[in-house]
Amino acid sequence: MTRRLTITAALLVLASAGAGCRGNKSAEPPIHPNWNMDDQSYFQGQEDNDWFPDHRAMRPPVAGAVAQGQLHDDDAYYRGRGADGRLVDGLPDGVELTQALLDRGHARFNIYCAPCHEKSGYGHGVIIQRGFAVPPPSYHEPRLQAMPLGYIFDVISHGKGTMRPYAVQVPVADRWAIAAWVRVLQVSQRATVADVPADVMTQLKASGGNP
């Protein structure tokens, strides 16, 4: 009899405790019967820790540590250099020469480079017209025409002379797309009628064009 009463009382307490939690707001901290390891002392960002000689609780990564997925050991892709350390003259493996790549390069070039280098690459962009101290060279001068593609990637990544590097703003994939577009600009200025593909030539002639 006593046992049954105890059980009924216990059930009542549990039921009321459960009901009490539903929808009621309380300023008290929640009941936390089993603390387990939920509350432990720990160091917060920028806090002191005298255990280390430099007193920094935030530990710098061990020298040479590489974050996951950041190894970047593909020199041709990430640095524009081949195994011999020389600049590559072409797109690295994995970057296909497609219309989409050129469209991307065209768009990025007009955003990041044309303000100085001009959409055509002759170097009279609007910033230069407003009096930028050192005008950039034209991409169409023989010295730059002869540069390997990796050189353009390298200049975007590290800058050159008074030109700032664009590695922070322009991700690697876009740097290759821009480099390819610079090459398109260069080729465009020395193209001849012989470079026009036969089918396009037929179309041009059919439309009354005068190539």
Is position 178 an interface residue for ligand HEC (rule: CB under 6 A)? yes
The CA-atom distances, in angstroms, between 52 and each of 48, 49, 68, 92 are 9, 6, 26, 45
Residue nearer to ligand HEC on the CB measure, 79 or 117:
117
The residue within the footprint of ligand HEC, chosen from 105, 150, 166, 186 (CB under 6 A), is 166
Nearest residue to ligand HEC by CB is: 161
Phi-psi region of 36 (alpha: psi -120 to 50; beta: other; left: phi over 0): left
Of 81, 43, 44, give the one whose Cα is nearest residue 158: 81
Residue nearer to ligand HEC on the CB measure, 160 or 205:
160
Provide the sign of the torsion angle of the four alpha carbons 4, 8, 14, 15, taken in this order.
positive
- Rounded to the nearest angstrom, the gap between the alpha carbon of residue 157 and the centroid of all alpha carbons in its chain is 12
Residue nearer to ligand HEC on the CB measure, 3 or 130:
130
Residue nearer to ligand HEC on the CB measure, 47 or 141:
141
CB of 92 to ligand HEC, least distance (A): 17
The residue within the footprint of ligand HEC, chosen from 116, 149, 172, 185 (CB under 6 A), is 116
Provide the mask over 26-65, with x wherever binding to ligand HEC is found by CB under 6 A and - wherever it is not: ----------------------------------------
Is position 155 an interface residue for ligand HEC (rule: CB under 6 A)? yes
Of 126, 125, 121, give the one whose Cα is nearest residue 138: 121
User: How far apart are alpha carbons 203 and 208 in whole angstroms?
Assistant: 9
Q: Which of residues 118-137 bind ligand HEC (CB under 6 A)?
A: 127, 134, 136-137
Of 87, 68, 82, 69, give the one whose Cα is nearest residue 157: 87
Total of residues contacting ligand HEC (CB under 6 A): 21
Is position 184 an interface residue for ligand HEC (rule: CB under 6 A)? no
CB of 73 to ligand HEC, least distance (A): 25
Max Cα distance, the chain (Å): 111
The CA-atom distances, in angstroms, between 61 and each of 8, 35, 58, 167 are 60, 33, 9, 23
Is position 160 an interface residue for ligand HEC (rule: CB under 6 A)? yes
Residues at the contact surface with ligand HEC, assessed by CB under 6 A: 112-113, 115-117, 127, 134, 136-137, 144, 152, 155-156, 160-163, 166, 170, 178, 182
